[in-house]
Amino acid sequence: MKKVLLVLAIVGMFLMPPSFAGSTINEDGKDIKNIFTTCIEKDILPDIEEIYKNKPNVDSDKDGLTDLYELKTGTSPFNPDCDNDGIPDGKDNTPIKTINLGLYRKVKAGEVFNIDATKIHPNAFRYYWDLDYKCEGYEDMGNNLSHWFMKAGEHEIKLVAIDKDLTPTHYLLTINVEPSNKVTDTKTDWDPTVNIEVTVNIKRLKCYDSVDWGTAADMYVKVYIYNTWKKSSVFHKNDNDVSPNWHCTVNVPDDQENTPIKIQVWDDDVWWDDKLDIDPTNQGDSKTLELTYSVKSGSWSGEDHIGDSTGYGFSKSTGTSVDAGAWFRCYQNDYDNDNLTYWEENNVYDTNPQVTNKKYAILISGGYSRNNNHARYWNDLYYMYKILITYGFTEGDIYVLYADGNTPSAANCNDPENIVETADIIDYSATTNNLRAVFNILSNKMTANDLLFIYSTDHGGYIDSNDNGRPDFGEPALLYLWGESIRDDVFAGANYLGKITHYKQIIVVMEQCYSGGFIGEVSRDSCVVITACENTEESWACDTEGHYDEFVYHFQNALSWRTPYWSDYSPVDADSNNDGYISMNEAFVYASNHDSQPETPQLDDDGNGLSQEGGDSDDGDYADSSYVWW
């Protein structure tokens, strides 16, 4: 049996108006009805626990059932005969009127249909829907239902209309779903190597409002994929911030590109469950996050999408009394388990869909010393880390070398007040020994099918071999670490980058001063090298954008399709060829065009050690087909 609907299950509105805070409850229950009547007129509902805490056995309508029992089972405490059949609710085995409307609509599979509840039952106080979910509970979606079914056959919808005296009426509607004859995007199986399954991974949930009286929320989720709803158990009792890492998987048609997904967050209660709001748009199915997942590209769109205001894979609502946030990921299976779709491997990345392609990254920020280590270096690095995670890098394959190995603080950073966000992501201190060890680890892991992404944000320097007090072309460049530095030729040499002999692609992005001096040493076949400045130039912090470095700030915005997740949202579109992917060259061009500091960004991608800005007109072609997320 489904968990019964309480007529009071209106999410987040159980707040007694201040004027009733001192009300007493008479035995005849008159004050109770006055409270309810006034609250309903104001479109709110009172605090049930507060009203009945001293009089749990009040029976306002004298039908033999207590008010609390009627609120629990879905009948009205103010109508002694809810179905108007002459039998008091306390003696009626079926006290709620149910009207079967029979076949109500014929639609095609996947066709969106709308039902206006006011045309079925006008002037109700609230409308609830049970949409053949096969999950417990009802959906508070207002009077206008917009829905679809992917599976052919008969589907029963129940509409529950609640009048102002809290009397419910149930309506049963049958929707006949016929197989769709719509031409699909392709007759070709989107992945002939597997039966495609789509998975939704709920990583974290956070409730921002007080939805339980005196306690934290008891959250669980309902997830809809293609034609199936799945429900989790309660993740953790009395906890407003949980990280369940819960997965649900559904088999989907291999010849249909787009799969509908819905995500709902609920608070479990003894009498009713509250639907929390994670819908940032307040459109369609209110409080529910509605997405469309593409098995072609492995990405999703809809009410959460790349470049949106909260960040890809995170959705939250603000301004309601039941605001919540959900961190999640949608993905599909693939033959070689490298998180690249069959279509992408064949049409974007030029990789073998039956051979695993791994992605590794090294993120470096030394800072040299506490007095020289700026907050912006950490901000740059952590922003890049979040981008890599968003695009499929796993935490265990990202090696973070930062300062003395500790989270930025006053002990290792000269302006910790400018750190935007911290996280436990650091693997090693930024020393030559640790950097050498990481390259050694990767040399034993990487194959000819793999990508290595290297990123540095730090101080840079040069060796003044000409003894003229300025950097000259060809003089060795330096990357500062923690208490030491490393020369460009050593960094690129046999004990460091030179140990990586098996790879499909290497991408190196360097922010530090004089970073262009690394290009001649680091450059090699199937390698993109991007630097913030020439070998004779200093690089600069942002002038107006906050505590980041100028070039990499814009470069990373291009990759994430927006400004940082923790700043004021502003969309970014660096996709100059409109193919839905940001190549290294597109990100470089966007960042170069938006870099307002006196520095000259550099790019080399043909292995000759000469950069695009250095006069090599051949650079940029390979980078046009190079992507950080593969």
Give 130-171 pLDDT, tens digit per residue.
Answer: 876 444 445 556 788 877 777 788 888 999 998 988 899 999
For 88-214, list the strands marked E by DSSP: 97-108, 113-116, 126-130, 144-147, 153-162, 168-178, 197-207
- Compute the average pLDDT of residues 422-434: 97
Does residue 201 form part of some domain? yes
Give the rounded percent of residues in the chain with a pLDDT score beyond 90.
60
Q: What is the pLDDT of residue 630?
A: 56
- The CA distance from 399 to 362, in Å, is 5
Domain boundary among 58, 91, 124: 91
Same domain? For 76 and 174 the reply is no
Sign for the pseudo-dihedral over CA of 65, 71, 76, 81: negative
Give pTM, 2 decimals. 0.70
160 lies in some domain: yes
Q: Kindly state whether residues 368 and 485 are assigned to the same domain.
A: yes
pLDDT at 9 (0 to 100): 39
Q: How many Cβ atoms are within 10 Å of 44's Cβ, its own excluded? A: 16
Kindly state whether residues 82 and 108 are assigned to the same domain: no
Given this model, what pLDDT does residue 43 score?
A: 59
Question: What is the tens place of the pLDDT at every residue in 231-252?
Answer: 999 998 889 999 999 999 999 9
For residue 11, the model assigns a pLDDT of 32
Residues 46, 141 within the same domain: no
Residue 30 has what pLDDT? 55
188-216 mean pLDDT: 89
Mean pLDDT of 296-300: 94
Question: In the chain, how many domains are there?
Answer: 4
Instruction: Please report the pLDDT score of residue 240 as a whole number.
Output: 93
The CATH number that applies at residue 406 is 3.40.50.1460
Domain boundary residue among 319, 343, 367? 343
Domain range enclosing 493: 358-543+601-625
Residue 559 lies in a domain: no
452, 473: one domain: yes
pLDDT the model gives residue 212: 73
Listed residue (591, 430, 457) closest to 512, CA to CA:
457
The predicted structure's pLDDT at residue 402: 98
Residues 208 and 144 in one domain: no
Arithmetic mean of pLDDT, 206-219: 84
Is residue 628 very low, low, confident or very high in pLDDT (cuts 50, 70, 90)? confident
pLDDT of residue 237: 86
Query: How high is the pLDDT of residue 567?
Result: 59
Percent of the chain with pLDDT over 70: 87
Q: Has residue 233 been placed in a domain?
A: yes
Mean pLDDT check: name the lowest of 189-198, 435-444, 609-618: 609-618
- The three-class DSSP label of residue 203 is strand
Average pLDDT across the chain, whole number: 86
Is residue 259 within 8 A of residue 150, CB to CB? The reply is: no
Least confident segment among 284-293, 550-559, 573-582: 284-293
What pLDDT does 309 receive?
Answer: 77
Read off the pLDDT of residues 445-487 as tens digits, 9 standing for 90 and up.
999 999 999 999 999 999 987 887 777 777 899 999 999 999 9
pLDDT tens digits, residue range 41-55? 765 556 676 677 777
Domain shared by 294 and 414, yes or no: no
Q: Is residue 573 domain-resident?
A: no
Residues 204 and 141 both lie in one domain: no
- On whether both 107 and 77 belong to a single domain, the answer is no
**Are the C-beta atoms of residues 382 and 426 closer than 8 Å to each other?**
no
What do you get for the CA distance between the two ends of the chain, in Å? 48
CATH of the domain at 136: 2.60.40.10
Same domain, 24 and 126: no
102, burial (CB in 10 Å: exposed 0-12, middle 13-18, buried 19+): exposed
Distances (CA, A) of 175 to 94, 107, 108, 260, 571: 25, 7, 10, 19, 41
- The reply to whether 290 falls in a domain is yes
Q: Is 4 helix (H, G, I), strand (E, B) or coil?
A: coil
Say what the pLDDT of residue 45 is. Answer: 53
Residue 35 in domain: yes
217 and 122 inside one domain? no
350 assigned to some structural domain:
no
pLDDT of residue 476: 92
Residue 425 region by backbone torsions, left for phi larger than 0, else alpha for psi between -120 and 50, else beta = alpha
Instruction: Say if residue 605 is in the same domain as residue 499.
Output: yes
Last residue of a domain, one of 343, 368, 397: 343
Q: How confident is the model over 577-588, as a mean pLDDT? A: 92
